[in-house]
Structure 1
Amino acid sequence: MDLAFIPSPSRGVLYLGPLPLRGYAFCIIIGVFVAVLLGNRRWIARGGRPGTVADIAVWAVPFGLVGGRLYHVITDYELYFTKGRDWVDAFKIWEGGLGIWGAIAFGALGAWIGCRRRGITLPSWADAVAPGVAFAQAIGRWGNWFNQELYGKPTDLPWALKITSDTGGRVPGTYHPTFLYECLWCIGVGLLVLWADRRFRLGHGRAFALYVAAYCAGRGWIEYLRVDEAHHILGVRLNVWTAILVFLAAVVYLVFSARLRPGREVIHDRGDGSDPEPPVAAGDGAEPGDAEGTASAKDRKRSEDAEAEDAEDVKGKDTAPDPASTSLKKS
């Protein structure tokens, strides 16, 4: 008899009259809202315009959903395109099945399009939303709880997840709540990025790269606990290999980016789609990423130009001939 466990919901959908409110979709929507809200605050703090993060998210989110679903369908094609399966189920995103790797890749493509339209750089925008994306993943993982899916190996630990549904290959029992492990890990990743960004003033995409590396480090051991069907390479789950490769890529980017482009870039968010201005040099007195420092540097430059003009005027007056002395010489 189980003394303690995490219960699963009896169903993953609630009905508001004739409208279904699915727990999986609800968690994704709340996660997107949190990511945009936090990303907007961070973007404004770095000198950007309000609303820019949301405008680009309009591109990034749909691309991310399509990419996440494509990754899942391609890597688990046998669930939709083998004998006895209905290929129409591949479009039923509310039943679960979003691959984070495809979501990040396609989401980045959508964000790049949005950034190009706004005339800003993708790495600076990605740095602003990085911790929010981690928190969004933490919230989104509760969608797996609503669907009673992606749980781990059987266990009798006090925090075991009790699976009650026997449909879709699920066997009632208590299992490792891998959705909860990943939720807690993502919260830790978000807090890590917030701390590191404040401590080291990360720029040029390094805050986002830190998020990617930290997430992959946790996804590896969490994936190892899962028991859902998955493709294996050399006896290791495909997503574990993906986490390793993406982790290495993120670490390489962190190292080389810090050497080639140290410091934090200045954000030029005009909001009109024009090309961004060149960054203010460090010698001009502006701190990277500081809007007030950028403005004061420009004011100081104007003041120096004005002083130079005044000096030229004074010099010109000093060297001009005196009319009185000229008349004496003529006389």
Structure 2
Amino acid sequence: MQIYHLANIPSPPQGVWHLGPVPIRAYALCIVVGIIFALWLTLRRYRAMGGNPDTVWDAAIVIIPAGIIGGRAYHVLTDYDKYFCAECHPVDVFKVSNGGLGIWGAVALGLLAMWVLFRIKGVPLGPFADAVAPGLVAAQAIGRLGNWFNQELYGRETTVPWALDIYYRVDEAGRFAPMTGRSTGEVVASVHPTFLYELLWNLAVCGFLLWAHKRWSLGHGRVFALYVVAYTAGRFVVENLRADEATMVFDMRINVLVAVVLCAVALVVFFRLPRGQESPAEVDPKFAARAGA
């Protein structure tokens, strides 16, 4: 018998609304809001560091699509059995709005695209990476709300007072549709709200990075390295609370292994990068020259 707890966190009754034939997906909206916030914060930070605001827009044009492609590619590769099986529909690979973006792939391909762009522009990458890091992790926090609407990536069943209630959802034909359907009101499980754990951790990391950048006079890419260290440390804990199926490597969830490796690498990079902050002329030499700095 299902036990109900009044203090539990309810899941949204649905994650998709329709304006005529057009589906409005909460997951996609959360991603868009996260991107807008990250752009706003990066513009403020890069301008304050002496950078050209136009560089942020140029980078956005390259990084956003690269991040989406990289994030989707990582998700599909690590969950390939959900897209390439006898009953699967491979075309679902391209349905990004349904959910399924791996942050590791998004950051990796986005960083690669950013490196190429800044090499072409002849502008140092480190200052921009430092400017974007707090906004990036804040965008990740906003994006986690999309997982809440989709009823996905939750943790093991629990009786803690803040447990998340997962509802039974069906489509218009009455068929089981956990992400795209509408709730019947029946609670099928009460689980750890890992989306919320990671959301709160990401917001804390954002605040920490903003503080550390000024307090420790970080520069040359060290804020970005610190972002990777802090995010992966939290992801390691959250990932170990999840109960959904996952690709296993060395008896570990693949995301746990990736978090450990990236955390170690980022720590080494953080201590090997130059100390101190760049001067405005070092942040964007071409812009500084035009501005007469």
User: Smaller-chain TM-score range?
Assistant: 0.7 to 0.9
Secondary structure, in 3 states, of the residue corresponding to 2:9?
coil
Partner of 1:159: 162
1 CA distance for matches of 2:89 and 2:133?
Answer: 37
Determine if contact 1:148/1:165 at 8 Å carries over to the other structure.
Answer: no
Shift of 1:160: 1.0
User: What are the residue-to-residue correspondences of 1:220-235 with 2, within 5 Å?
Assistant: 220-235=236-251
Q: Which has the higher contact order (CA 8 A, sep 6+)?
A: 2
Determine if contact 1:60/1:114 at 8 Å carries over to the other structure.
Answer: no
Secondary structure, in 3 states, of the residue corresponding to 1:174?
strand
1 CA distance for matches of 2:61 and 2:55?
Answer: 10
Q: What residue identity is the alignment partner of 2:243?
A: V
Report the CA distance shift for 1:86/1:122 in structure 2 as closer, same or farther (over 3 A): same
Shift of 1:169: 7.8
Cα displacement string for residues 113-162 of structure 1 (whole angstroms, at most 9, x for unaligned residues):
33234331222111001000010000000010111100000012221111
Determine if contact 2:168/2:178 at 8 Å carries over to the other structure.
Answer: no
Report the CA distance shift for 1:225/1:168 in structure 2 as closer, same or farther (over 3 A): farther
User: What are the residue-to-residue correspondences of 1:111-130 with 2, within 5 Å?
Assistant: 111-130=114-133
1:38 to 25, 37, 41: 41
Q: What residue identity is the alignment partner of 2:268?
A: V
Partner of 2:254: 238
1:136 matched to 2:152? The reply is: no
1:216 matched to 2:232? The reply is: yes
1:178 matched to 2:181? The reply is: no
Determine if contact 1:61/1:110 at 8 Å carries over to the other structure.
Answer: no
Name stretches of at least 5 consecutive residues in structure 1 with no aligned partner. Answer: 278-291, 296-331
Cα displacement string for residues 175-208 of structure 1 (whole angstroms, at most 9, x for unaligned residues):
1000000000000111111011011111111000
Q: What residue identity is the alignment partner of 2:91?
A: V
Q: What residue identity is the alignment partner of 2:284?
A: H
When the two chains are superposed, the root-mean-square deviation of aligned CA atoms in Å is 2.1
Secondary structure, in 3 states, of the residue corresponding to 2:286?
coil
Partner of 1:320: none
Determine if contact 2:63/2:113 at 8 Å carries over to the other structure.
Answer: yes
Determine if contact 2:150/2:178 at 8 Å carries over to the other structure.
Answer: no
Percent of paired sites with the same residue: 50
Determine if contact 1:49/1:269 at 8 Å carries over to the other structure.
Answer: no
Q: What residue identity is the alignment partner of 2:160?
A: L
Secondary structure, in 3 states, of the residue corresponding to 1:134?
helix
Determine if contact 2:28/2:97 at 8 Å carries over to the other structure.
Answer: yes
Cα displacement string for residues 73-124 of structure 1 (whole angstroms, at most 9, x for unaligned residues):
0011000112211111111111111111000000112222332343312221
1:253 matched to 2:256? The reply is: no
Partner of 2:218: 202
Partner of 1:321: none
Partner of 1:70: 73
2 CA distance for matches of 1:168 and 1:16?
Answer: 19
Partner of 1:10: 13
By percentage of residues, which structure has more strand? 2
Q: What residue identity is the alignment partner of 1:210?
A: L
- Between structure 1 and structure 2, the one with the greater Rg is 1
1:53 matched to 2:66? The reply is: no
The 10-residue stretch of structure 1 (183-192 or 53-62) with the greater mean CA deviation from structure 2? 53-62
2:208 to 181, 188, 192: 192
Q: TM-score, normalised by structure 1?
A: 0.78
Determine if contact 2:82/2:88 at 8 Å carries over to the other structure.
Answer: yes
1 CA distance for matches of 2:118 and 2:18?
Answer: 38
Secondary structure, in 3 states, of the residue corresponding to 1:164?
strand
Cα displacement string for residues 190-239 of structure 1 (whole angstroms, at most 9, x for unaligned residues):
11110110111111110000001000000001000011110122322111
2 CA distance for matches of 1:270 and 1:140?
Answer: 35
2 CA distance for matches of 1:52 and 1:179?
Answer: 33
Partner of 1:316: none
Cα displacement string for residues 255-311 of structure 1 (whole angstroms, at most 9, x for unaligned residues):
111xxx22222212536xxxx98xxxxxxxxxxxxxx9x93xxxxxxxxxxxxxxxx
Determine if contact 2:140/2:202 at 8 Å carries over to the other structure.
Answer: yes
Q: What residue identity is the alignment partner of 1:70?
A: A
Q: What residue identity is the alignment partner of 1:262?
A: R
Name stretches of at least 5 consecutive residues in structure 2 with no aligned partner. Answer: 170-175, 180-186
1 CA distance for matches of 2:60 and 2:69?
Answer: 14
Number of residue pairs the alignment of both structures matches: 274
